[in-house]
Amino acid sequence: MTDATVGTIDAVILNFSPASLQLLNAILAIVMFSIAIDLSPKDFRRLSRAPKPLLTGLFSQFVMLPALTFAMIVAVAPPPSIALGLMLVAACPGGNISNFITHRAGGNAALSVSMTAIATVGAILLTPLNIAFWGSLYAPTRAVLRETAIDPVSVLVTVGGMLVLPLCLGLLLNARRPDLTARIRGPLQMLSMGIFWAFVVLALAANWGNFLEYAGAVAGLVVLHNGLALAAGYGTARVAGLGAFDRRAVMIETGIQNSGLGLILIFGFFNGLGGMAVVAATWGIWHAVSGMALAGLLARRPVPAM
């Protein structure tokens, strides 16, 4: 990374209109609703009786990954906006496609869906807490945070309206009308993911010049960071003594981050700060590639469901 790139990426602001931000909010709400109609209260009751895999996954997601991210940033010392972007992605809950990838990989898809749901609820408090905690420990990002007014109530409203409300509505509909959710589940999930990726492509097109100029500066860091995330999930699950079926779910859930939520927070609270937005956008592309490649490899080595 050249000195010129370091100097300019922190100053660049990506083009993302308020209408685009509202559209992304709506899209992520639809994606979350499509995930929620896969859940029922019995899923949570089952996990409450045997919570070890779920707690292991949440620990990996919200403790191990942010800690490893901080260690990586201290070791590599990237520009402040890139460092904060990596911290923010690490502080987000599991991504929307983690459930699909876990299923393809032959892992515990029910555990993956439940982790996504519970981590999404927990993200209301844990995501801003992790950003503030780890960001304040690193001097360059601490300076960025001081210049940024993050209102916790605004974060709560944003995350609650975009993720938690659709989650509750999906659970309610599945409990009241399981016949309806069984019919719409597959088509809605395909439609919501299609809309989401179409939006990402259009957003990148609107900022293509900046993305091409700066993506190379973060690509290596994103690949390394994603590798650390997958390793954190696998290692934490292994140390906890989980079986291979659950281990695959925890690994993928930790390695597939909700970069869409990251973009919402970046444009809503950090004014589209260049390095942060490029990190989140690059993550959104790379984790899908690495996740599907990993799923293809794991699918060749099936493990028994526990």
Domains and CATH numbers, the chain: 16-297 (1.20.1530.20)
What percentage of the chain's residues is helix, strand, coil (to nearest 5)? 80, 0, 15
d(CA 120, CA 201): 24
- Tokens at 100, concatenated: 């699909």
Contact 300, 105 (CB under 8 A): no
Q: What is the pLDDT of residue 4?
A: 44
Angle in degrees, CA 65, 141, 124, rounded to 5: 50
- 288: which 2 tokens? 């899908």
pLDDT for 11 equals 52
Residue 6's pLDDT is what?
47
Structure tokens at 118: 């519970």
The torsion of the CA quartet 133, 136, 137, 140, rounded to 10 degrees, works out to 140
pLDDT of residue 18: 60
Name the β-bridge partners of 257: 94
Q: What is the mean pLDDT of each run of 10 residues along the chain (306 residues)?
A: 50 58 72 75 71 92 96 92 92 82 86 83 83 90 76 69 79 85 80 71 63 74 95 96 93 90 76 76 84 90 76
Q: Whole-angstrom Cα distance, residue 157 to residue 137?
A: 27
What's the pLDDT score for residue 211? Answer: 65
pTM value? 0.81
